[in-house]
Amino acid sequence: MTQKKIALVTGAGTGVGRAAAVTLAKNGYDVMISGRRLEPLQETLDEITGAGARGTIHQCDVGDPDAVRAMFDACIAEFGRLDVTFNNAGTGAPPCELDEITDDQWLTVVNANLNGVFWCTREAFRVMKAQSPQGGRIINNGSISAHTPRPYSIAYTATKHAVTGMTKTTALDGRPYDIACSQIDIGNAATPMTARMPQGVPQADLSMKEEPVMDVQHVADAILYMANLPPDANVLNMTVMATKMPFVGRG
């Protein structure tokens, strides 16, 4: 019997995180799911176990480095190893003029989207480097905003650009240990976070326009593809987006 691979997914209570965790579970992975709210995590876990996979919940604020270390230690204690980490947890600030964002809003986004990805990457790197056989794969949720901002999004855009640099550095530093690092940049997947898209969102010219969305399952399928690559292959960056969203072209 082929041993199942082990995945850890942050921000797994809803949206992209839930879709990715369940899809991995349906395709040969046992999964530790993480988030701050227990109720949606339990709903995700029910889908994972319903798919015949082994799953476990670990409540964690990824902005707390001690809690993140404890989560990865718990994963190893539960499953014995870690093959894939999907750094999905993140947040945004309310849209506002650049000079109006508060210190607390800025720090909240930086702590979740940048510090949290770093804490999780550092711990994943630690356990993947130490385990036998050595190696694994870290997948970061970058976003279209890792390339091009929306208006009034300084904190979110800055952190997502930083994730791109972290992805590249991790991919480089992981080479001696068979640790691959990938980034998926998502444009308008239909999740609670994008529920406002059909009602209109700010454009580059500051007008408000409806934007199309796509099924979040397409994102989960892409993550599964990235996760299943052998150690000698990597998708460094992948953009998965609603075909007709206003990303490619002049603003």
Task: Identify residue 88 by its one-letter amino acid code.
Answer: N
Nearest to 10 by CA among 208, 18, 79: 18
- Alpha helices (H) in the chain, listed in sequence order: 15-25, 38-50, 65-79, 103-110, 116-130, 154-173, 217-227
List active site positions: 156
How far apart, in whole angstroms, are the C-alpha atoms of residue 17 and residue 49? Answer: 16
Record the tokens describing residue 129, joined without a space.
């480097």
For the beta carbon of residue 149, count every other beta carbon within 10 angstroms. 17
Helix (H, G, I), strand (E, B) or coil at 54: coil
Residue 149 CA, chain-centre distance (Å), reads: 18
Record the tokens describing residue 99, joined without a space.
């000079």
For the beta carbon of residue 142, count every other beta carbon within 10 angstroms. 26
Please tell me whether the peptide bond between 198 and the residue prior to it is cis, using omega within 30 degrees of 0: no
**Alpha-carbon Rg for the chain in angstroms:** 18
